[in-house]
Every structure is written in structure tokens, then in C-alpha cells.
């Protein structure tokens, strides 16, 4: 494990937390809109706090990209969850509310679950780029799962809706960050190399859709429910893509497999507990 990569990942987590708290506290002031309605973003662009919140979020993306150059995708992604501990009190302060103990419990369970999974899986870096054929199953699965989240969210309200929309958002973020791993390598060959490949265009589309859906998720419940869900699903997607596309390796066998299954159950319980957030 690279200490530099870990420190960059933690710094990215802090920036994401600050940006998310600023965005969520502003988004809650807007009237709920239909899912993926671009007019929500147009309204938010008129609010200075939301616009300023994009800056630390963008900084987090840059630091995350740097961390991915030296660390495994399955290692860097879960570190983002550490920032949610900061996002909860920040969001409460922005919304002039007191932080809820349940929110910290949800985050703590998620951290323990992911930490246990990492310890058991012992993720190792693989390749930096992969052929299109290796991406095809992911390119098919992501839209199908994303559409399923949108359909289910139509039947829900409040925190449960925020969680389901958070799953869809985390799905796209995990996909986007996986693309970013290849794009950072392509940049070494110059901008022309990046523009000649499909990854950057998929990142643009996925990033825009994820940004809109993220704000939809933030409008439902306190920040702990949607943000914890996003930051939990994001690394899970990253792990799956890391193993299936980038040939990263996990050590989930024997006793480690049992720990991994237990960790997954703890993560599911954290999401179940988050659904009761209001």
C-alpha cells in the first residue's frame, strides 16, 4: 500500500465532505423536482454557496485521480467514506440543526464494514488500461442497474428515496472514477490521446447525470442517508470494475471470505438503518 496514495485519498475525502455539505444545505432550499430535471441545476447555479461547493468537490476529484495513479482502485475508493464524518456536522450547521446520533452510527457502521472488507480482501493493483471488450459487461450493466434505481425511487419518499437515488448516484460515480484511472494514464500521451478514446466522453455524460441525480438525492432526508449510500456504493462499484476490468486482485478465500461476507452484511445493515433518517 502506498502511504502517499492513502494520504491523497483522505485529503480527497475531506474536500468531498465540505463540498457535499455546502451542496446539500443549498439543495434542500429548492423545491423538489422530477428526477434528473436539469432545471434543478439551473436554479442552483444562482445560489453562491452551491457554486462555491463545487470547488472543493472538484479539488477532491483531482486528489482522487492522483491517488489512483499509485494506489489500487479498490483501496482508494473506500477512503472517501471517512469524509462523511465531517459532512454530517457541517451539513447540520449549514441547515441550523443539531447533528443526530443515528447519523454518526450509520457512518461508523459503514466505515467498519468497509475497513473489514479491505482487511480481508487485501486489494492489489492491476493494469492501468483495458481493452474495450473487457468494458462491455460494465457498459451494459451500469445503465440497466441505473434505470432500475430510477424506477424504484418513483415509489418512495424521504430518506428511502434518497438512499435509492444515492445508489444510482454511487453507481455512476464508481463508473466515472474507474474511467478516470485510464484517462490519467492517457494524459501522459497528450490531450490528443485522451480525445481519441471513448473514456473521456463517457466520463462527461456520466459525470453530468451523476451531478443532477446527486442533488435529487440530497433533497430527501438528512445528508447521512444519501451521502453515506453514495460513498458506500461508489467503492463497491469500484471494486467490481477494478477486479473485472483492471485485473485487480482480492484475497477473498477461506477465512477471509467469511470476514468479507460479514462486512457486506454490516454495510447492508448500515443502509437499512439510514433509511429511517428524516
For residue 276, the model assigns a pLDDT of 67
pLDDT at 63 over 80: yes
Q: How many domains does the chain have?
A: 1
Cα separation, 95 vs 28, in Å, equals: 9
Q: What angle do CA 228, 231, 237 make, to 5 degrees?
A: 135
Beta bridge partners of 249: 124
Closest to 53 measured CA to CA, from 23, 10, 83: 23
Residues 6+ apart with CB under 8 A from 231: 16, 80, 81, 83, 84, 110, 170
CB 122 within 8 A of CB 56: no
For residue 15, the model assigns a pLDDT of 93
Burial group, residue 155, by CB count within 10 angstroms (0-12, 13-18, 19+): exposed
Closest to 19 measured CA to CA, from 41, 64, 50: 50
Three-class secondary structure of residue 27 per DSSP: helix
Three-class secondary structure of residue 95 per DSSP: coil
Cα separation, 137 vs 92, in Å, equals: 40
| Structural domain of 43 | 3-274
For residue 277, the model assigns a pLDDT of 61
Each residue's pLDDT tens digit, 192-230: 999 999 999 999 999 999 999 999 999 988 888 898 899
Closest to 153 measured CA to CA, from 219, 224, 91, 228: 219
Burial group, residue 19, by CB count within 10 angstroms (0-12, 13-18, 19+): buried
For residue 253, the model assigns a pLDDT of 84
The reported pTM is 0.87
For residue 108, the model assigns a pLDDT of 86
Each residue's pLDDT tens digit, 222-277: 888 898 899 889 888 988 898 899 988 888 888 889 998 998 899 889 888 877 66
Chain centroid to CA 13: 10
Residues 6+ apart with CB under 8 A from 26: 44, 47, 49, 50, 53
Most confident option among 75-79, 97-101, 104-108:
104-108
Cα separation, 115 vs 96, in Å, equals: 32
pLDDT at 169 over 90: yes
Average per-residue pLDDT in the chain?
A: 87
Cα separation, 14 vs 85, in Å, equals: 9
What's the length of the chain? 278
pLDDT at 1 over 60: no
Higher pLDDT, 138 or 109: 138
The three cell numbers locating residue 64 = 482522487
Amino acid at each position: 500500500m502506498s502511504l502517499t496514495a492513502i494520504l491523497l485519498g483522505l485529503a480527497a475525502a475531506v474536500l468531498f465532505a465540505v463540498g457535499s455539505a455546502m451542496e446539500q444545505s443549498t439543495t434542500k432550499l429548492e423545491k423538489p423536482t422530477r428526477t434528473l430535471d436539469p432545471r434543478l441545476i439551473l436554479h442552483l447555479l444562482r445560489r453562491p454557496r452551491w457554486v462555491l461547493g463545487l470547488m472543493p468537490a472538484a479539488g477532491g476529484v483531482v486528489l482522487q485521480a492522483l491517488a489512483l495513479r499509485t494506489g489500487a482502485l479498490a483501496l482508494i475508493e473506500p477512503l472517501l467514506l471517512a469524509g462523511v464524518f465531517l459532512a454530517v456536522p457541517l451539513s447540520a450547521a449549514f441547515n441550523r440543526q443539531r447533528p443526530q446520533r443515528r447519523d454518526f452510527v450509520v457512518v461508523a457502521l459503514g466505515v467498519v464494514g468497509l475497513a473489514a472488507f479491505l482487511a480481508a480482501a487485501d486489494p492489489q493493483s492491476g493494469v492501468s488500461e483495458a481493452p474495450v471488450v473487457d468494458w462491455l459487461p460494465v457498459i451494459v450493466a451500469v445503465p440497466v442497474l441505473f434505470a432500475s434505481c430510477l424506477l424504484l425511487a418513483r415509489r418512495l419518499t424521504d430518506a428511502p428515496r434518497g438512499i435509492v437515488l444515492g445508489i444510482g448516484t454511487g453507481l455512476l460515480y464508481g463508473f466515472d472514477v474507474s474511467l478516470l484511472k485510464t484517462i490519467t494514464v492517457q494524459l501522459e500521451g497528450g490531450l490528443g490521446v485522451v480525445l481519441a478514446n471513448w473514456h473521456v466522453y463517457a466520463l462527461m455524460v456520466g459525470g453530468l447525470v451523476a451531478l443532477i441525480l446527486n442533488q435529487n438525492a440530497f433533497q430527501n432526508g438528512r445528508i447521512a442517508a444519501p451521502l453515506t449510500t453514495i460513498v458506500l456504493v461508489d467503492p463497491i462499484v469500484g471494486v467490481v470494475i477494478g477486479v473485472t476490468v483492471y485485473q485487480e486482485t482480492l484475497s477473498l478465500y477461506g477465512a477471509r471470505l467469511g470476514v468479507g461476507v460479514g462486512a457486506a452484511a454490516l454495510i447492508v445493515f448500515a443502509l437499512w438503518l439510514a433509511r429511517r433518517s428524516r
